[in-house]
Amino acid sequence: MYKRQIYLDKLIARKDNGLIKVITGVRRCGKSFLLFKLYKEYLNSLGIEDSRIIQISLEETENFYLHNPLSLDLYIKKTVSDKERYYIFLDEIQFVKSIKNPDTAIPDAEPITFYSVLNGLLKRQNIDVYVTGSNSKMLSGDILTEFRGRGDEVRIYPLSFSEFMEQYDGDVRDGWDEYLMYGGLPLAVQAKTHEAKSSYLKNLFKETYIKDVIERNKFRNEENISDLLNILASSVGSLTNSLNIHNTFLSVKKQKVSVNTISSYTKSLQEAFLIDCAKRFDIKGRKYISTPLKYYFVDTGLRNALLNFRQIEETHLMENIIFNELKIRGFDVDVGVVEIYETNENGSGQKKQLEIDFVANKAQERLYIQSALSIADEKKLKIELRPFLNV
């Protein structure tokens, strides 16, 4: 059992804060386990009895009738039968359907949704609400808009390398190699063989993640989305943009996919928490450079499964893992650009851009980070240090 302490601490800090705690993240990264097992055990340790912790998994068949928001609202209000404090856990909240407002006296009345139910529950002083949702349904934008400032998001990632090593029985270098290859999704970690890990990761992508994205966004061409993911997986840590990807479709796939369509696909994959991007930031000019960007996968195992476990380039995958680690630790992460003026032997000069892999910011803290698999060579060390010396 993994402690998931960083996320448990976040929930503990938000207990009874008057907001709806919304646990988001890619499917199968451990959201339900965090809430129903780890956080429930914490509440029990405070003396809160199970009868005051209402747990509803909306994925279970016996709870299908609660997909009606009015039925869900009625069930919770009946269960909260006194003025004692209650804790409401709702798993997979996206299964609650929107229904037409039965109050026909109000022209153009807004439909009743799970947002309506949850916002209504906040008016009760003795209720503390926690929900999890499928990544492609519970987006940051939805939370801010629909909860009208009453949603408090806790983003969950697959196991970090340090979490992975909590249970790994072996040398840290062997553990790194396995984590690099198969990532940190808990069920993939628990599988014992390459065949089991590979099958799980491939099926999860094909049968869950891609279908989620297509269903939510009503995309028609699953093959193009799969091809886009393969292109991004092959270029982890490399600068790219929608135009470059458009050109790749033309040259490699012999397909014409518009730049706007590619932008729509990449945005949807980001909103589904499958990929993330780092923008370029001009450190001296203190401004963002709109394109190109660097894309990273939420989990290296998922990335490798997409490519059938080919192209296992440790340099790029280490960079991906560092990016995810910084995000887990709460940093905003950019790619740093340092512009210098270089004079050649003839006395003429030109502008040149040096790159710092990551500029990470959190409150008043700022980190400049280079990701290098090896700096044993003096020339390589000089290249890696040069951008730092010009900040």
pLDDT at 357: 96
Q: How far is 299 from 280, CA to CA, in rounded Å?
A: 22
Q: Where are the domains of the chain?
A: 5-155, 161-389
Q: How far is 326 from 333, CA to CA, in rounded Å?
A: 7
Q: How far is 12 from 152, CA to CA, in rounded Å?
A: 13
Tokens representing residue 274 in the block: 């499958």
Beta bridge partners of 361: 332, 366
Q: What is the DSSP string of 301-365?
A: HHHHHHTTT----HHHHHHHHHHHHHHHTT-EEEEEEEEEEEE-TTS-EEEEEEEEEEEEEETTE
Walk along the chain (391 residues) and give the pLDDT tens digit of each residue: 899 999 999 999 999 999 999 998 888 999 999 999 999 999 999 999 999 999 999 989 999 999 999 999 999 999 998 999 999 999 988 888 889 887 666 667 788 888 888 888 888 899 999 999 865 455 445 555 667 678 888 999 999 999 999 999 999 999 999 999 999 999 999 999 999 999 999 999 999 899 989 988 889 899 999 999 999 999 999 999 999 999 999 998 888 999 999 999 999 999 889 999 999 999 988 999 988 999 999 999 999 999 999 989 999 999 999 999 999 999 999 999 999 988 887 878 888 999 999 999 999 999 999 999 988 889 999 999 999 999 9
pLDDT at 342: 85
pLDDT at 93: 87
pLDDT at 116: 85
Helices and strands in the chain, H and E counts: 17, 11
Q: Which CATH number fits domain 5-155: 3.40.220.10, 3.30.70.270, 3.30.1510.10, 3.40.50.300?
A: 3.40.50.300
H or E stretch at 178: helix 172-182
Q: Which of 227, 289, 299 is nearest to 257 (CA)?
A: 227
Tokens representing residue 177 in the block: 């190699």
pLDDT at 105: 63
Q: How far is 245 from 221, CA to CA, in rounded Å?
A: 16
Strand pairing report for 365-369 and 332-343: unpaired
Q: How far is 136 from 94, CA to CA, in rounded Å?
A: 9
pLDDT at 234: 95
Tokens representing residue 103 in the block: 């109050």
Residue type, 84: E
Q: How far is 89 from 118, CA to CA, in rounded Å?
A: 11
